[in-house]
Structure 1
């Protein structure tokens, strides 16, 4: 007798549903496996609307599969994005942004696997062995380089701007959307993203026929609690392990981040951070790992009572970052930054989101930066000099992955 499968709301209401999932002849399923594709158990990924499919297809040829081996043993399988292709001496060198987990030692997480080799698979099945790679364990990013006779398709990469003005006088549309705070910056590399905006996580499977995979979702303000990397953003997309390192795109098909794996959502590293890290590596021969000792949240993410308090204490302030935690004996603690402070400027730049604040200090390790904060009880801003320290190698971010496990067939449809 086949196990009972509960009918989901998606299955009832999704007008794009074409057919039900294939019946299983087993009472159990293997989950968190590199053999899962995005639509193995996830109905939202099976029945995407045409608009989402067309957006994803704008980027598909730039999305690759990667497979690493150490000696003759499989090591890791993931996805990546071609972000650059240049002509060098009659050939073409392409750079692929992906996860450093592709290269990690299975026994020592912050060391390069012994005798590691990487194979890259394109959308048409063509494969290349990686010629070189750069990697950073802290932010879990890698840049894999391959060489080809023909130019390869490059994705459009944009910087994420998630800042929102908190101004009660802003106009609101009939749909409840704020009209005045989402004007694009004059710099075309930036794109606005607000909570609830549609995004799509993409990947490519690592076995023939190297299928393209997509997972639609929404951008979220929520934290990625399993990960201690506070710079991660979050989307409601549900991917599989082999999607790690793939791109997150916005509604125009522009890459705004690189994915990691959680069974219930998709954490992603904004392209702002990845690109700034790689730029720093090119200039200084190492990756930047700044430490301030601050955990903060965007002003617009604060509860409404907190916003009222900020507006009462700091009239006219509509942008900033609220300090939530200051680590003891940290650079922030040493200059007197306190929980509840509102950071409004850093290094002479107005700050409207934690992402913006972090990108400013990302290449300031070992340097002093001027930080302007508003503090309850003070009528004028406080100017503080913050010395940006560096994360110790024994304090690098952790990147946990759930282990493969067998679950009942019903569990895969309820929520794994």
Structure 2
């Protein structure tokens, strides 16, 4: 009997050791030495990868589209926490048929009118919500610290709608908010309004800002734009940051390309070709013209380009751009806008992260805006990763998340 118990104990130890080793192998990914809270980031990334794999399985067995399943998991995980501020009133309503969550900061001092910020959440145009705790806490913090009214827009997501429907939602809701009677209702100063967003939300905020500056009726109604690690182009998936961070946590390169394809309602079979820039090869006429007009090397500092080897294919897959001309649409890729459009944009804040495939999108936009005469503040964080700004509360609290959020709010406070 004792021998049997001893054998079982040995089996248990062997199996437990094997499981721990497998878990460690799954969780561990090599990370740069200077990245913020590396072990916590590995766990967060492993959790997100697990959710992605589970959602793919759900689609495989025919239960739901993988993005709907993944968003259900994210929204469930990110339900509103018990944290709240007594100095902020939160209301769910709709602006011209578009759902919004409004955060109203109670004045700390006598001030007749508040500033207003239209906020657009990230999530690859397919995930997250204005109502989950990450954005709830961010927008509440903004409303309280800035004594502002934050309109967080619950725009429709992929796969229920695709480009440019998300922009139509944002356009309608923002124009509704900008009506004099609505601004008066919320005691918002019409001279102190900003648009802002993170990641795909930064993409949408940049596109919305460009649309407004083309419209004389709205050109001067936005005082500021603030873009947090924005997605700005789909011409080149081999910029230095895409090459250096292709396997970085939260947003590896192949995942970003898949988000683009889903947003534009394309075929996921295009991913391998797009990874090596076959969609913008020299034999793809319009794409080649755009890439020749916008020389990436001239838009990036020498510290980034010194060891950079551009990937420009001579012959590629012309079918991709033929089926997805939206890849070259300025409304989906604000970085490629004409100089005449950029010069009418308001004062701008752009935050970038060193360990992020989208780092160079933001840096190139900073350069293009500066060349167009726009007043730009570029805030770069050497230890930051994509998505960090919303991770400020336990158990996903990162020191760089708090620092990026506080720096962003400080700029808004000083300029809005």
**Structure 1-normalised TM-score?**
0.25
Q: TM-score of the superposition, structure 2-length normalised?
A: 0.25
More strand by share: 1
